[in-house]
Amino acid sequence: MRAWSVAAPGPVEEGGLRFVARPVPEPGDDELLVHVRACGVCRTDLHVAEGDLPVHRPGVTPGHEVVGVVAGLGAAVRGFEVGERVGVAWLRRTDGTCAYCVRGSENLCPASRYTGWDADGGYAEYTVVPAAFAYRLPGGVDDVSLAPLLCAGIIGHRALRRASLPPGGRLGLYGFGGSAHLCAQVALAEGATVHVLTRGAAARELALKLGAASARDSREMPPEPLDSAILFAPVGDLVPLALRALDRGGVLAIAGIHLSDVPALHYESELFYEKEVRSVTSNTREDGREFLALAARHGVHATTHTYPLSQADRALRDLKAGRFDGAAVLVNDLS
Ligand SMILES: [Zn+2]
Ligand SMILES: [Zn+2]
């Protein structure tokens, strides 16, 4: 099969991501072999390819928004069948026994492993996944539309929950890419007023089309104080701005796995009156199942931009340069 490999982590313009030939992987006892049909392109893939995240597996294949079909079963797998459509996401394994796992916070498990970082992911014709961490997918939605829901959607959903938006509340979204435009749809369906703050004119247009009450540049203030805000842009400089935009008691959730340094904060205008800053770390399988059900119920729709699997490097360069709105999805056109 063909697969992309992070041969030399570094700027994606410099060709460290290579399209190589590899044997089709063998599923372990508790794993599924998945024939990849579509794989979303997440900003985390860019961080893996460029070495912003430390190397966990040399030459790893990125990709953790995989929609595919079960093509083989490990000896111990029960409850899945060959030919069934499944999703493969970022959280790949936990120990299930530590204090965090036991209290329902498996996203904090120190022994957790991640698809497309610790193990090869979906920028390939085939991949494997532990059956316990594969998602069953709703019918009636095509592969390309589903792929971005598996990370961008799920993490956006966890960020929305972490931001503790009150019913009918005022939500600010800083950055409006793959994750934010899915999160916005759930928030709007649940009755929130959404204000989008992002530098891209096309993204602001998409935000208004989806029903946002306002869309401004990320350096501007929203038209009203916010009950909650989510920072999707990996830009620490925006943290003080977002905190100033919060109403008293407001919560800012930071959705990214990687953030440039946060500048010194001004206590009176940015933290006092019980404003809170919270990070968001990965997600639990429960978050994933909850979001996939909500997405199906509310008809959450990913705005996608497709690339053939053989052009994953171009997709990552375009993501880095902000050349599309919504979410990029690789389509397996090889097998
Ligand atoms: Zn654990
Ligand atoms: Zn992701």
Kindly indicate the confidence band of residue 188, based on its pLDDT and cuts at 50, 70 and 90. very high
Residue 270 per-residue DSSP state: I
CATH superfamily of 2-137+303-331: Medium-chain alcohol dehydrogenases, catalytic domain (3.90.180.10)
Tell me the pLDDT tens digit for each residue of 33-79: 999 999 999 989 999 999 999 999 999 999 999 999 999 999 999 99
For ligand 2, the distance from its centroid to the CA atom of residue 284, given in whole angstroms, is: 13
Question: What does the pLDDT average to over 9-22?
Answer: 95
Look at residue 324 and tell me whether its pLDDT is greater than 90. Answer: no
The mean predicted confidence, pLDDT, of the chain is: 96
Type of residue found at 127 = T
Task: Please tell me the predicted confidence (pLDDT) of residue 287.
Answer: 96
Tell me the pLDDT tens digit for each residue of 91-149: 999 999 999 999 999 999 999 999 999 999 999 999 999 999 999 998 888 999 999 99
Tell me the pLDDT tens digit for each residue of 277-300: 999 999 999 999 999 999 999 999
> HSE of 328 in the Cβ direction (CA atoms, 13 Å)?
26
Residues ≥6 apart with Cβ < 8 Å to 282: 90, 91, 107, 112, 114, 155, 158, 257
Residue 97 per-residue DSSP state: -
For ligand 1, the distance from its centroid to the CA atom of residue 94, given in whole angstroms, is: 5
For ligand 2, the distance from its centroid to the CA atom of residue 152, given in whole angstroms, is: 6
With CA atoms as reference, report the closest residue to 240 among 267, 213, 259, 222: 267
All CATH 3.40.50.720 domain ranges of the chain, comma separated, are 154-279
With CA atoms as reference, report the closest residue to 68 among 125, 3, 19: 125
For ligand 2, the distance from its centroid to the CA atom of residue 329, given in whole angstroms, is: 12
All CATH 3.90.180.10 domain ranges of the chain, comma separated, are 2-137+303-331
CATH of domain 154-279: 3.40.50.720
Query: What do you get for the CA distance between the two ends of the chain, in Å?
Result: 9
Kindly indicate the confidence band of residue 325, based on its pLDDT and cuts at 50, 70 and 90. confident
CA 240 to chain centre: 24
The answer to whether the pTM exceeds 0.95 is no
Kindly indicate the confidence band of residue 326, based on its pLDDT and cuts at 50, 70 and 90. confident
